[in-house]
Structure 1
Amino acid sequence: MTRSAHITAMSADRVDGGRLRHYDVVMAAFVAILLLSNVLGAGKVAQVRLPLIGDWPFGAGILFFPVSYIIGDVLTEVYGYARARRVIWVGFAATLFMAVMAWVVVALPPAPDWRNQVAYETIFGQVPRIVFASMCAFWAGEFVNSYVLARMKVLTEGRHLWMRTIGSTIAGQGVDSVIFYPLAFWGAEGWTTHLVVVVLFTQWALKVGWEVLLTPLTYWVIGTLKRAEGLDVYDRGTDFTPFRAGV
């Protein structure tokens, strides 16, 4: 079944991995954004002043972390659920290594003439808890996102991409936020219960909003990759278990 002269629609189990030219680049981008968002963005609460509402807190990671979900959509839409699953497990392993590395580096005794240990502990000392919460939320949320998108693609026969990307984000980011914020910040210093709940729902709404705003970019990236790879993958007959990393 051919979509155009250059894009062929096929079932995921028929895709020849050796012909995929850009899959590794998309995987690298996904993992890089995931790690940087966890280190630089997740622990800081920023604040903006909204008209008619006043000051409103939000997690700084919202500015960049949703890009990983968009890349997740691209992976599932272009390469299929199984290859997206493989990337999710690679990201999970990279996040675990980052958590172990942060714990070891913070725990190492500083040299007597190095004066930045306290600042280093302040910045990175809470990373293990945040990363643990992020790993649980990321794992569940990404698989929900990928599963919903893949199923919807088959049901809609490849039509209404915007419906698939936004719908899967509503589900995936909802699961992600409900798991992440209580695990990461409930009872943490500077975080009241009210603040956790407000940031949780704010983040979920903003992440979905980001997906909506970036829909034209998502369309362009997906279309470009499909043309470059020459295929359009459908997950018919796919084993959707998340408990494997193989394709």
Structure 2
Amino acid sequence: MITNILRDKPTRLFIILSGILVANALIAEIIGVKIFSLEATLGLQPANLMILGETYSFNMTAGVLLWPVVFIMTDIINEYYGMKGVRFLSFLAAGLILFAFIIFFFAIRLTPAEFFVTMRTNSGVPDMDKAYQQILGQGSFIIVASLTAFLLGQLVDVFTFHRIKKVTGEKRIWLRATGSTLISQLIDSFVVLFVAFYLLPLLYNPNNDPVWSLGQVLAVCIINYIYKFTAAIVLTPVIYWVHGILERYLGHSTAAEMKRAAMNR
């Protein structure tokens, strides 16, 4: 039975694409605790963009490295398996991300072995257990905001993709793939920071000021979206490349049949 399932190319392809999407979404959430300087990484001077009266550079979460892959996979799955396929995988990915953070929560609270705490002292880490807590123990506000933004972004992406495809048909892959990503990433970029650093802190403790001012939230959102907008445009040829690989793998007749069926799902 399993052998027959794996011999079916559309089924096997769905499993592969699903694994890539879920794995990248989960990894992006975990590595997202690190904030990096894009300019310094590329050996460039800070951009120092003036936004809403303040100066900002491209300091972003490391998770942005993988989100372009997630949204390319979303569009590919949308193309061949329809809205139901993407929605199923989006909720599956969100559930597994939440499960991972629940496990992290309990793992952090395990009593460390004495040698574990000091085992990296010579490498500049005086307390490995505290380092472990800081890396894996992301704040609940960030987790809630990130999952909310991920699900909302995915649902908007799949809806926009199908609306554009209904108008353009099979033509203009770049328009429905890149266009849907640009719209969904606009929402994702603003939701995650607004919820995590402004809305939830304000609701949780209304007597205190938010972690960030509204102006700071909007400025950092704009910086993040500029990066994601640029990445979406640059990666447009990759979408055509992946489509070409899948067309050859499935065969043109099978691929065409799958795409027609996907529009009705």
Q: TM-score, normalised by structure 2?
A: 0.74
Distance (whole Å) between structure 2 residues aligned to residue 47 and residue 198 of structure 1: 16
Q: 1:68 aligns with which of 63, 67, 70?
A: 70
- How far 1:210 moved relative to its partner? 0.8
Structure 1 residues 180-224: Cα deviation after superposition (integer angstroms, max 9, x where no partner) = 112233469xx6435432221111221121111011111110232
Distance (whole Å) between structure 1 residues aligned to residue 86 and residue 154 of structure 2: 9
What SS is found at the alignment partner of 1:126?
A: coil
Greater per-residue helix proportion = 2
For residues 113 and 52 of structure 1, do their structure 2 counterparts lie closer, same or farther at Cα, with a shift above 3 Å needed? closer
Structure 1 residues 105-148: Cα deviation after superposition (integer angstroms, max 9, x where no partner) = 11222233431121112222225432221111111100110111
1:78–1:222 contact (8 Å) kept in structure 2: no
**Alignment correspondent of 1:96:** 98
**Alignment correspondent of 1:10:** none
1:41 and 2:42 matched: no
1:92–1:135 contact (8 Å) kept in structure 2: yes
**Alignment correspondent of 1:209:** 230
2:36–2:59 contact (8 Å) kept in structure 1: yes
Structure 1 residues 29-73: Cα deviation after superposition (integer angstroms, max 9, x where no partner) = 111111111111354243523467586133132222221111111
For residues 72 and 42 of structure 1, do their structure 2 counterparts lie closer, same or farther at Cα, with a shift above 3 Å needed? farther
For residues 174 and 103 of structure 1, do their structure 2 counterparts lie closer, same or farther at Cα, with a shift above 3 Å needed? same
**Alignment correspondent of 1:29:** 20
Distance (whole Å) between structure 2 residues aligned to residue 170 and residue 224 of structure 1: 24
Distance (whole Å) between structure 1 residues aligned to residue 189 and residue 179 of structure 2: 15
| Alpha-carbon RMSD | 2.5
1:151 and 2:163 matched: yes
What SS is found at the alignment partner of 1:119?
A: helix
Q: 1:106 aligns with which of 105, 108, 130?
A: 108
Distance (whole Å) between structure 2 residues aligned to residue 96 and residue 124 of structure 1: 13
- Structure 2 alignment gaps of length 5 or more: 1-7, 40-44, 50-54, 118-127, 203-210
Distance (whole Å) between structure 2 residues aligned to residue 40 and residue 107 of structure 1: 20
What SS is found at the alignment partner of 1:231?
A: helix
**Alignment correspondent of 1:231:** 255
Q: Which amino acid aligns with 1:100?
A: I
1:130 and 2:142 matched: yes
Higher RCO by CA contacts (8 Å cutoff, separation 6 or greater)? 1
Distance (whole Å) between structure 1 residues aligned to residue 149 and residue 65 of structure 2: 18
Larger Rg over CA atoms: 2
2:56–2:220 contact (8 Å) kept in structure 1: no
- Structure 1 alignment gaps of length 5 or more: 1-17, 239-247
Q: 1:179 aligns with which of 174, 183, 191?
A: 191
Give the paired residue count: 220
2:48–2:57 contact (8 Å) kept in structure 1: no
Q: 1:166 aligns with which of 178, 185, 203?
A: 178
For residues 55 and 174 of structure 1, do their structure 2 counterparts lie closer, same or farther at Cα, with a shift above 3 Å needed? closer
- How far 1:19 moved relative to its partner? 4.8
Distance (whole Å) between structure 1 residues aligned to residue 48 and residue 112 of structure 2: 49
